[in-house]
Structure 1
């Protein structure tokens, strides 16, 4: 139930009035699209992402609960046969509280989409079953068969595999990979009439290269090309749409979830794009069906309000650990350090109140040394866990070259700057900072004294 609807409205009355119902909202909405955030939220969206979230439309429970009710139905009833025809013809839809089937639109998932739009400062958003489904769906919607993409050469391994192998094989869509920091190379790679999308990560996985989003967007805009940015590594910290990006995608399994217990994704962008992706006849999301479960959407909507607080702690600890590791003589990569090549750029585009990101990398040069360090950190001092993913409240560590970037060839990894011994650490916030640092120092001290063999499954 939306803000302003009396909590005494009953289920029976709702069903009986189904054919006459209108969307319950104030006059601040843009048009009649229930995915679009309100004007009030849009104003806040131009500034602080946490403020924008707080200004977004709040959904109350069916009986007046402060938390919204979960709409768990897969299908929805109508009172008149004619209503069904009008639903499928597109005359009626979620903007007027009419729903057909939860693969198309679900009220609980729709609400999470509004929150994600507020967070990223976009007109609309739609949430999906995984981050990869969000990425693949938006690219397939924007780039037709035989089309062309320009992408960063440093990407999450799954995305790189999608662009390198799957899309060329299935759709004839080809990608030119470039150094996202080389703006001349981006310009040169764009083919007039063919290139539809420039795709990159706000902070690259795993090398932590920071993209100059405003400049890349300027280049793309001059060429009439759409910019899609994966902001999984930097929610709240960086807001790509506020810097000029057209579309923002997320694996919200990571920081936004925060619990390493949910797989989910999101596409944030113009309402026209999201509506086209949900079109009954030609929409990538509708026809491919990467549907988010309503119960998952409810869980995530309850976690978004404290995302800003969590990000502050992730980032503060990552910065402190990076500084201390550097003092010990380790080769540390962290964009919050002054010697990082894009440190000043990040300062100029990020919300510094929240920090510089919760991920750092330690380059141990060889995979053997990386594995020895992670073994000690997990099994001897309890500093963190050897696991992929990020954004968990515990520290997660992985050797990127042999895990999340393993889809890339050795040549591709070298070109992307991924060292064989690069250890990616998603810094958690459990325990005290000094306690966790003591665990790290203890593990580091044991490296020369303990020999072990890594067991392969």
Structure 2
């Protein structure tokens, strides 16, 4: 296997399994596909994109160095060249990872690049690149798209860290300002765009934590009419929604969440046009290259092994969330879940969602006050083991947090009110461990301990 050359083009990159000399590439030698690559043509890959799981299955499968079914981990920080002239040509941009020439793992690493191809397949974009965290993916994209004096229009309901980045850090450090809008009010979005100045329309496909669903096609039309780039954080809805298919330019992920699934890895991804990804890796002006949020190759290997069963996991997350939301509603709780017909964007989500993945794995209970929220979570964790009081999401156990005092604590009271985050809003990332009957019994057992607490309505 060591002598076999394995090459193909997928999502804007050409990667070979064998080091070649710089001279071999001066005349644009034909790309050879090896018998063990089992790679479809770009046309076949596009046809398979009817479903994100099918797209993942049709993406390149990277075999190990000695023919292993799993790819090898390229743990090297730096890479050799066969001729001295090759290094000069790599730094000049004449040779790169598209022809299997690697300089340094802060630039491109073969193992990370393979995970990036998988993420591009998942989201149906030309290219992708994986980073050390979700926040590094967000900040790097915005810094690549916006210069000093630039302007962003963003949803007023965002993850607290993103809100703080746009509200405090960018104006102070970069002279980039943001206007926050109700993303459901399309006229408000249009009015906030400043011709010639606004560079990005930024929102979450499902908002954190209120689960407002963005009308991605209509928002994309508004942005295109005004020459604005659409950047969507799809962390809450992998497999469920495919923003690039719906009109978005760039799709971001905190891979730490559903994609990882194990609450043990911090990682992010930028999925979008090859031109954008390549510009972000430019040696002179690339935000990813120069800021250096580099993913470790061993982390990339771990994540590439989890992506194949993401679709199965998302279906069960969604199934459980729908079951619990329906039961909680019958008990009289104020439930926010896009799968419920009374959710304001229920029909919108149905019209955009990929078939069979449900409505997502998160639900919210509005307990009105933080005291009631904390009492409920305390019983659910410490008396019946229904779930854990912890931030993050996408774990196999149910994770619960009071958003206003945790993941949205960066926002002031007025900003929380505008975002629709009540003091007692409990965000639940619904897990899939145990049977539904077992876990629901634990929920009911917790409620039986506080019949006179006024936590829910009969």
Tell me if TM exceeds 0.5: yes
Deviations 1:203-222 (A, max 9, x none): 00000000000000000010
Q: 2:288 maps to what in 1?
A: 285
> Are 1:42 and 2:55 an aligned pair?
no
Q: 2:75 maps to what in 1?
A: 72
Deviations 1:19-54 (A, max 9, x none): 647796549xxxxxxxxx944323323x21111000
Kept in 1, the 8 Å contact 2:19–2:101? The answer is no
Q: Supply the distance in 1 between the matched residues of 2:338 and 2:138 (Cα, whole angstroms).
A: 25
Distance 1:190 1:15, change over 3 A: closer
Per the TM alignment, residue 18 of structure 1 is displaced from its structure 2 partner at its CA by: 7.5
SS at match of 2:72: coil
Q: Supply the distance in 1 between the matched residues of 2:310 and 2:5 (Cα, whole angstroms).
A: 28
Q: Supply the distance in 2 between the matched residues of 1:23 and 1:377 (Cα, whole angstroms).
A: 61
Instruction: Choose the corresponding residue for 2:87, options 84, 89, 94.
Output: 84
Q: 1:212 maps to what in 2?
A: 215
**Pairs within 5 Å for 1:80-119:** 80-119=83-122
Kept in 1, the 8 Å contact 2:205–2:237? The answer is yes
SS at match of 2:57: helix
Instruction: Choose the corresponding residue for 2:434, options 410, 427, 431.
Output: 431
Kept in 1, the 8 Å contact 2:325–2:335? The answer is yes
Q: Supply the distance in 1 between the matched residues of 2:432 and 2:111 (Cα, whole angstroms).
A: 30
Deviations 1:131-179 (A, max 9, x none): 0000000000001111000000000000000000000001110000000
Kept in 1, the 8 Å contact 2:21–2:83? The answer is no
Q: Which runs of 5+ in 2 are unaligned?
A: 8-16, 35-40, 454-458
Q: Supply the distance in 2 between the matched residues of 1:340 and 1:382 (Cα, whole angstroms).
A: 29
**Pairs within 5 Å for 1:255-270:** 255-270=258-273
Q: 1:33 maps to what in 2?
A: none
Distance 1:6 1:150, change over 3 A: closer
Distance 1:25 1:258, change over 3 A: farther
Q: Which runs of 5+ in 1 are unaligned?
A: 8-12, 28-36, 451-457
SS at match of 1:414: helix
Count of residue correspondences: 435
Kept in 1, the 8 Å contact 2:22–2:83? The answer is no
TM-score, normalised to structure 1, is 0.92
Q: Supply the distance in 2 between the matched residues of 1:356 and 1:24 (Cα, whole angstroms).
A: 42
Instruction: Choose the corresponding residue for 2:410, options 402, 407, 412.
Output: 407
Deviations 1:103-124 (A, max 9, x none): 0000000000100000001000
Q: 1:396 maps to what in 2?
A: 399
SS at match of 1:70: coil
Kept in 2, the 8 Å contact 1:23–1:96? The answer is no
Instruction: Choose the corresponding residue for 1:311, options 311, 314, 334.
Output: 314
Q: Supply the distance in 1 between the matched residues of 2:62 and 2:31 (Cα, whole angstroms).
A: 11
Deviations 1:270-327 (A, max 9, x none): 0000000000000000000000000000000000000000000000000000000000
Deviations 1:189-248 (A, max 9, x none): 000000000000000000000000000000001011000000000000000000000000
Distance 1:427 1:5, change over 3 A: same
> Are 1:192 and 2:195 an aligned pair?
yes
**Pairs within 5 Å for 1:343-354:** 343-354=346-357
Deviations 1:63-85 (A, max 9, x none): 11110000000000112211110
**Pairs within 5 Å for 1:108-187:** 108-187=111-190
Q: Supply the distance in 2 between the matched residues of 1:124 and 1:133 (Cα, whole angstroms).
A: 17
Distance 1:24 1:388, change over 3 A: farther
SS at match of 1:361: strand
Q: Supply the distance in 2 between the matched residues of 1:403 and 1:138 (Cα, whole angstroms).
A: 25
TM-score, normalised to structure 2, is 0.92
Q: Supply the distance in 2 between the matched residues of 1:56 and 1:14 (Cα, whole angstroms).
A: 20
Q: Supply the distance in 2 between the matched residues of 1:150 and 1:315 (Cα, whole angstroms).
A: 30
SS at match of 1:204: coil
Kept in 2, the 8 Å contact 1:42–1:118? The answer is no
Aligned Cα root-mean-square deviation (Å): 2.0
